Structure 1
């Protein structure tokens, strides 16, 4: 089969499309013919060998990729025969293997894909969707809430904006460039602002003045100067929920109080807040259910599997809209 392999940590060009042996499922595992593989900024950090995102860097050479959707084509010992031939999606955790024509998955991680979802949408919801559900467990959105979302055209920002809009909140979406802001506006944001333009905070303040209110919550996956400007838009008692820092500049820890604003930095523990014996799976089921019901529609940027390096460069350069997906 063909797969993307990483032989040395470093830039995106180190991702090589080459022939490898088909994987074989072990006990309790299945093999999936991959139809879509998710790409995440965390994949880029692992590619570079950056310490921190994973317990330890993967052993090299490795096939990256932690989110897959496809059709089960082989079973390992003790895997239920009912999985054979079914459309499935799974998050692999920190196990590698997703950027390939076939991947091995623990059967316990599988979800059957709802009939009305395609493979790319399912991949978007199994990783990015479950993260959105985890973040939303830390705030209550509804009529009267005014939500500012940096990177609102990204995979996560798109879902958060849709959820807030559906809940009756006022949504202010920030994105980079005319194409992205147009997509944010089309998705239902009350205001879509290009945060690469000088003076964008004044545009948002003018909008808030017309509404006669201040922002109540910032859902922030960007950090840096953008985050500081967003916090300044919050009224007393507002909340700044931090779940990423693609622009850096956000300190670890929390919650913190800054001028009457509550700042809370969410880490991996946010995925365990759903409760129950398997809270992460609970969030995955919730995300897939929201998509199957049509309440959340993930945006997707697709690349052929062979162009994984280009996909990484585009994602790191913020040149994508929605979830980035590789298709073998």
Structure 2
């Protein structure tokens, strides 16, 4: 089979398209003929040898990637034979191997796909979709909510905008550049703003001032900021929050991909502003999901199958994984990046 392998930590050019032996499923596993493989911003950090929610590869060379969809074409010992020939999607967990024409998966991780859900869309929902629903566990959205979504043209941002609109909230989407702003507007945001322009917060304040007043006669203010960017953009978004507002942190791309840090506030700052700030990734998200991340996967796939959430997908050929990584790192993508063998 063909696969993408990483022989040394470093730049995107270190990802090479090679012919390698076909993997063989072990006991309780299946082999999937991959039709779509997910690419995550975290993959770019692991490629550089950085650790995060997942550890950097202990041994090289390695085949990156942890999200795959396709058809089961081989079974390991003791695996239910009913899986053979099924269209499936799976998150591989700690074991990489997704950037390939064939991938081995524990059968317990599989989800059978309905005919109405495409493979690339399923890959988007098994990772990005489950994270989106995990984030949304930390807030309640309704007609009185005003949600600010930085990176609203990204994979998670696209789904957050849709979910918030479905809940009746007013949605303000931030994106970089006119093309992405147009996509955010088309996705349903009530206001789409180019955060690369210096006075974008003034545009948001002007929009808010035109909304109906609150029962107490005040201008509405954002109630929640879904922050995956941090840095100056994230801080400016938080500055728009009203009393009782939430700052939910799940990334910090604006503060530097290589050595960035999430946007944080002191308790004194939060008390003075009357807002809260919390990181929603990792164990806290898992705990909210009842200790089983599969609960979020099931809900995510069900939402896409029902048409309640519609993931945006940015495809690249498998052989161009290095190009996909560079585009992701330089914000040259929209929606979920997916490799197509």
Match of 2:262 among 227, 247, 250: 250
The alignment's TM-score, normalised by the length of structure 1, stands at 0.97
Q: Distance in 1 between matches of 2:131 and 2:114?
A: 19
CA-atom RMSD in angstroms: 1.5
Which piece of structure 1 moves more, 122-131 or 112-121?
A: 112-121
SS of equivalent to 1:301: strand
Match of 2:170 in 1: 170
Say if 1:107 and 1:60 are closer, same or farther in 2 by CA, change over 3 A: same
Say if 1:320 and 1:247 are closer, same or farther in 2 by CA, change over 3 A: same
Match of 2:9 in 1: 9
Identify unmatched segments of 5+ residues in structure 2.
Answer: 212-218, 256-260
Match of 2:197 in 1: 197
Structure with greater strand percent: 1
Q: Distance in 1 between matches of 2:52 and 2:183?
A: 33
The alignment's TM-score, normalised by the length of structure 2, stands at 0.93
Match of 1:40 in 2: 40
Q: Distance in 2 between matches of 1:37 and 1:325?
A: 6
* 1:302 lines up with 2:315 in the alignment: yes
Q: 1:254-309 CA distances to partner (integer Å, 9 max, x unpaired)?
A: 98825211111122124313444x52000000000000000100000000000000
Counterparts of residues 178-197 of structure 1 (less than 5 Å) = 178-197=178-197
Match of 1:317 in 2: 330
Which consecutive aligned stretches of 4+ in structure 1 deviate over 6 angstroms post-superposition? 252-256
Q: Distance in 1 between matches of 2:312 and 2:58?
A: 29
Offset of residue 320 of structure 1: 0.5
SS of equivalent to 1:158: helix
Match of 2:285 among 244, 247, 271: 271
Which piece of structure 1 moves more, 54-63 or 186-195?
A: 54-63
Match of 1:288 among 301, 324, 327: 301
Q: 1:68-123 CA distances to partner (integer Å, 9 max, x unpaired)?
A: 00000000001110000000000011211000000000000000112211000000
Say if 1:87 and 1:230 are closer, same or farther in 2 by CA, change over 3 A: same
